[in-house]
Chain A
Amino acid sequence: MKTTTKQKIAFAILFLCTVIVVLPVLFVLAVVIKNGWPAINWEFLTTMPRNNMKAGGIYPAIMGTIYLVSLSTLFSLPIGLFAAIYLNEYAEENMLTRLIRLAIVNLAGVSSVVYGLFGLVMFVTFLKFGVSILSGALTLAIMNLPVIITASVEALASVPYSFREVSRSLGASRWQTIRHSVLPFAIPGILTGAILSLARAAGETAPILFTVAAFYLPNLPHSVFDQAMALPYHLYIISTQIPGIPQQMRYATALVLVGIVFSMNIFAVIIRSKFRKKKKW
């Protein structure tokens, strides 16, 4: 066989493999939209569940997820950003820095259910926060830290070194330089990373299983020390734990969750591409 023909066949196979990888995304979307969309209406999104969750809406689950994700970002974003600043702007190549890198890689690899265990002992039991939004949010925050750090380091590193040099040559201190000549230009990248990590936190189930999630609550939580329902956990229990839930409601819940996560992702991608176009250095 001619080598060019071989190449054509090989490339076709590679292409096919790639399609097989991407296709499930469309499949998942198609399935949840087709089966879930008819059940989605204003009532479904804004009312409490009724009749042992067989009717009514998923309002408290949506709100619970929003509370959890916002609170966890409140913890993880500042710590993650500062950690990234340390790694990219201050750290020298020494043992400590290598240890930090190793720790980040490791945090990224820890199983989500192990985070759940950790959150249970550390926040629920040891710090006595109880099974609460606070415990769940802190657990999610630590879990998200590596994502935010990695994205922020990348964003900081993409700011040209010359900006720092110019700023320092004008007599600015190290922190002034970071604050005025590095951070402003890294913000879009950091934001993208933060939103992606938020999306991930919104979809996580295992870390909140033992730290916050409630099967059913008649009221919305009043403070961060209350339990809360959450979308991914709700989807889990209505699809595995309670028989007799109308199938459509399960699809609709999945659709809402996927909708939230995907729209956040798309938002992040838009910010990123806008920024790339605007970038002038």
Chain B
Amino acid sequence: MVNPVHPAPVHRCGVHGVPEIIINKVVMKELDIWYGKIHALKSLNMNIFKNEILGIIGPANSGKTSFLRQLNRLNDLELNYKAIGEVLLDDKDIQSINPEVLRRRVGMIFALPQVLPISIYDNIAYGPRMHGTKDRKRLDAIVEETLNASFLWDEVKDRLLESATKLSGGQQQRLCISRTLALDPEIILFDEPCSGLDPISTAKVEESMLKLKEKCTIVLVTNNTKQAARVSDRTAFFLMGELIEIDTTEKIFTAPSDKRTEGYILGKFG
């Protein structure tokens, strides 16, 4: 395994533009996750850089989603869940951060568009309202701003008060992105965000990801290696709960150092 904790600086000049100054946003040290007897993630050591898009690829049950849910402590909701090791966000252990505050800083987009059956407006205002924003003008501004960021504003600006469930799948997923952005997160976790979407919708979601990178850090779990190749700056390959390899996307897709990574990517590419 390449040493993931201290990647060589040469990795910076990938085609996708790894940020100029590398700052560790998240650092994981010897992280293990169990669900009951299932050992979902095994002694993971890994960093996430500020303002990068980190792609996570790997077959089913490779620990990708467990990893992702660890970052916003959504694993806490599971029964029989246990974790040891450290996850540092800006050098601070996330276990010491109030989960409600943490989840505000670390947003999440789910695999299927999970809009609540309330209006488009209320979906976006949900997070801010839960954190105490009541001012209507402020909420109006947040709604417009975040819908713009996901390129949805023009499509829905005349029907903000209609139920979000009336939107198409792609629109719903972009609404979910807006909803997450409404909390102004530092990190956004995407959990196979395009698995149910058509190519055009996928392109729009990817477009908004690339734009979001300017402001936040993005972790993208995907089943679609092509998607990782298209948008991520660095890519990590997980297999059976272990991190096999992490490197610049270019390196991973052209000259992976582990046979298993190569096998997975080739298999995927046919």
Contacts and interface: CB of A to CB of B under 8 A. Distances in A.
Answer yes or no: A and B touching, Cβ < 8 Å.
yes
Contacts, number: 63
B163 A280 contact: yes
Interface string A152-171: 00000000001111111111
Interface string A198-215: 000000000000000000
B117 A185 contact: yes
B103 A168 contact: yes
Contacts of B114: 162-163, 165-166
A168 B130 contact: no
B101 interface: yes
Contacts of A176: 130
Interface of chain A, helix or strand or loop or mixed? helix
B127 interface: yes
Contacts of B116: 163, 166-167, 181
Contacts of A164: 77
Contacts of B126: 167, 170, 172, 180
B130 A172 contact: yes
B222 interface: no
Interface residues of A, number: 21
B110 interface: yes
Contact of A169 (B107, B118, B131, B163): B107
B74 interface: yes
A169 B72 contact: yes
Contact of B104 (A163, A171, A281): A171
Contacts of A92: 79
B209 interface: no
Contacts of B103: 168-171
Most buried by B among A171, A173, A185: A171
B179 A170 contact: yes
Contact of B117 (A167, A170, A173, A280): A280
Interface of B: 72, 74, 77, 79, 99-104, 107-108, 110, 112, 114, 116-118, 126-127, 130-131, 163, 165, 179-180, 183
23 contacts: A93-B79, A163-B114, A163-B116, A167-B116, A167-B126, A167-B130, A168-B74, A168-B77, A169-B74, A169-B103, A169-B108, A170-B107, A170-B130, A171-B100, A171-B103, A171-B104, A172-B127, A172-B130, A173-B130, A180-B126, A180-B130, A280-B165, A281-B117
Interface of A: 92-93, 162-173, 176, 180-181, 184-185, 280-281
